Amino acid sequence: MSEMLQEVRALLDGPGGRQYLGEQVSVAVHMLQAAGLARAAGAADHLVVAALLHDVGHILPPAPGEAPDTGADDRHDARGAGWLSRWFGPEVTEPVRLHVAAKRYLCTVDPRYLTVLSEASVESLRRQGGPMSPAEIAGFEGSPHHGAAVAVRRWDDEAKDPDRPAPDFSQFAAALRAVAPGA
Ligand code: FE
């Protein structure tokens, strides 16, 4: 198994077992469900991988001098994307980096969106900056990856179901290898 696969698997099997703050599933189950939803939607491998790894920033070991992630921070998007850039290109790291922005974006442009958000997710919205200003909307839409980030966000929001079985990590090994050919 490549170093990348080993490291991702170890994070999901270890710290991924923690309860996802305010939700009824663990972080790992949430991430695996998101990837399963992406695959069921017929998404390309890079989007399946982005969905799988979008919350990796919640389960990374804390950097020196940094407090451990409590699930309440609003930096897990950038931390996750930075960590993933060791192996993956922007088609994976950018939707991860933008998945919190995508939530703020959808709250602003899609009035129905707020009704699909979990309570915990509505609560964190405020800490994450709330709805976007017109300038922020233009900035977000200016990213070539904003559509991918919105797609990942919608799977993210759906992937919090304690009654939905989570696919096994092994089902995504081939997709991970395909989008990180050097790993
Ligand atoms: Fe998530």
Q: What is the pLDDT of residues 80-89, one digit of tens each?
A: 999 999 999 9
**Measured in angstroms, how far is the CA atom of residue 72 from the centroid of ligand 1?**
12
CA 134 to ligand 1 centroid distance, Å = 25
Residue-wise pLDDT for 32-42, tens only, equals 999 999 999 99
How remote is the CA of residue 94 from the centroid of ligand 1, in Å?
15
Return the structure tokens found at 111: 């009035």
**CATH homologous superfamily, domain 3-179:** Hypothetical protein af1432 (1.10.3210.10)
Per DSSP, 18 falls in state S
- 66 compared with 137, residue with greater pLDDT: 137
Q: What is the pLDDT of residue 68?
A: 65
Claim: this prediction has a pTM higher than 0.95:
no
Task: Tell how far the Cα of 76 is from the centroid of ligand 1, in angstroms.
Answer: 10
- Sequence-ordered alpha helix ranges (H) in the chain: 3-13, 27-40, 45-53, 76-84, 90-97, 99-109, 119-127, 134-141, 146-158, 173-179
Ligand 1 centre and the CA of 155: distance in Å?
Answer: 8
What pLDDT was estimated at residue 71?
A: 57
> Given a cut of 70, is residue 74 above it in pLDDT?
no
CA–CA separation, 90 vs 146, rounded Å? 12
Model pLDDT for residues 125-155, shown as the tens digit of each residue: 888 889 999 999 999 999 999 999 999 999 9
